[in-house]
Amino acid sequence: MRNLLAFDIGASNGRAILGQFDGERISMRELHRFENHYVELNGVCYWDLPYIYNQLKQGFLAFRRADIGALDCFGIDTWGVDYGLLDKNGHLLSNPRAYRNAVEEDCAEAWKMMDFPALFSHTGIGNESFNTAYQLYRRKREGDAALEAADTMLFMPDLLGYFLTGEKKSEYTETTTSMLYNPIKRDWDRDIMAAFGLPEKIFPPIDMPGTIRGRLRSDIARELGINCAAFAAVGTHDTASAVAAIPGSGSFAFCSSGTWSVFGMEAELPLLTDEVRDAGFSNEGNVQGGFCPLKNIMGLWLIQECRREWQAEGMSLSWDEIVREAEAAEPFRSIIDTDHASFFSGARIRQKIHQFCAVTNQPLPDTVGRFARCIYESLALKYRYTLEKLSEIKGQSIDSLNIVGGGSRNRLLNQFAADATGCRVITGPIEGAAMGNLLVQAMALGDLKDIHALREVVGRSVKVETYMKSIKRLATLEADAVPKWAQEKLREALQSQQKKDKSKEAAR
């Protein structure tokens, strides 16, 4: 029996999850959970790295208390793009900045050095203001002292791994999110570094998922009372780990559902056409060394922010209660473009939804159920819109959608997704990123041969649920039903936003 430990850290919480693998099936148990939020200081948002690092130690202590023997291996996955800087002595120069600092101006300034079509042709990464390349160029423009003093840049999972093992490397899947990786050269893109004036020396060697990177430092092992376990480079980008754990086959799309809904498909080679670029897709790496053409959709962040506001007003609502309220609300009363720029930053999300609805001449949501239904139905419509784009890019129809991650618990949204897309929707595993993390550790240890063997273990270890389009539900999206105008409303909103974006680019 292998004892494996996955640290799965998201932008809102983190977990230490034990995986016990007998060669055929894997069982999982949460050992430790903690909250994770960025902190604003003097107008800049930072991740509290010492706090997160200490929480990883608490996860190791929880493993020791489980009293199940030695730890064979551990791995870390987080969200993409964010990083920390180390000085020449290997010390942290400042807490890592959070991607929520990003603004459109960062893109506009970077394009003066290399325009977006060129950046896409070099990297295959879509235009998101939080891309690492834009973040670093902003610091370069500001004459940031930390960047000037930096000797090494490490992405969040690699940075945490470095403090636990002493190894400085950049894992492939996380590296591909940065807009600094060239998928044709299979290396850092030094043309972009030169254009943005970034020091090449800070970018470390890249390693692949499924390799052993090092071991837990002996001093930390003694402090925690555990053995010097192996440290594996897993799919350190949480989406890559989640996609690895999809028990999919045939022509399928995936949605890693959480704060973001990361929606895409798998491909052996990057798709670098103008069509892919203009549709807003990125080519991010997967654990088998290929690519996932995907789109980042503003996901459950919207309802999470609404719930935060309701809690501040004294309304203690569980997620199940919010879903019940949504189910009871009228269908398609209000539809929003979930990716509208106004929704990116937190605070006053309900007010921003009101503003969007007012501009588009729709009724304003005024109850918990109406806000929640508006968000869930809008997300389902965005899934349909994105799936249609994926089918066009792929040149063939997609017959199933696999939803993994915490958002797959939302049965109402799952049904809306089936109704909207007309596809069979398969949900699970819920802890997709953690399961992928654990099983790639097993690959690194030599227990699993490849991604096919990994997915066979997933199929044997978890039960999945299937949702089919229901013509009886009020949320159905049959062409001759009410939702047709809802789809058109979303398309009009998207087209309007695209026209505004083009006008801004022309003005620049």
| Selection from 170, 252, 160, 163 nearest residue 208 by Cα | 170
Tokens 């309007």, located at residue: 496
The residue annotated as part of the active site, out of 8, 82, 207, 238, is: 238
How would you class 27 by CB atoms within 10 Å of its CB: exposed for 0-12, middle for 13-18, buried for 19 or more? exposed
Nearest-angstrom CA–CA distance, 371 and 357: 11
Q: Could you write out the DSSP letters of every residue in 140-207? A: HHHT-HHHHH-SEEEEHHHHHHHHHH----EEHHHHGGGS-EETTTTEE-HHHHHHHT--GGG-PPEE
Residues 212, 217, 222: CA angle, nearest 5 degrees? 135
User: Nearest 5°: phi and psi at 425?
Assistant: -105, 125
CA distances from 427 to 238, 242, 265, 449, 498 (A): 17, 12, 15, 25, 32
Instruction: Please confirm, yes or no, whether 238 is among the known catalytic residues.
Output: yes
Residues 6+ apart with CB under 8 A from 333: 362, 363, 365, 370, 373, 374
Q: Is the dihedral of CA 99, 101, 103, 109 positive or negative?
A: negative
Q: Are 306 and 352 in contact (CB under 8 A)?
A: no
Q: Tell me which residues are annotated as active site.
A: 238
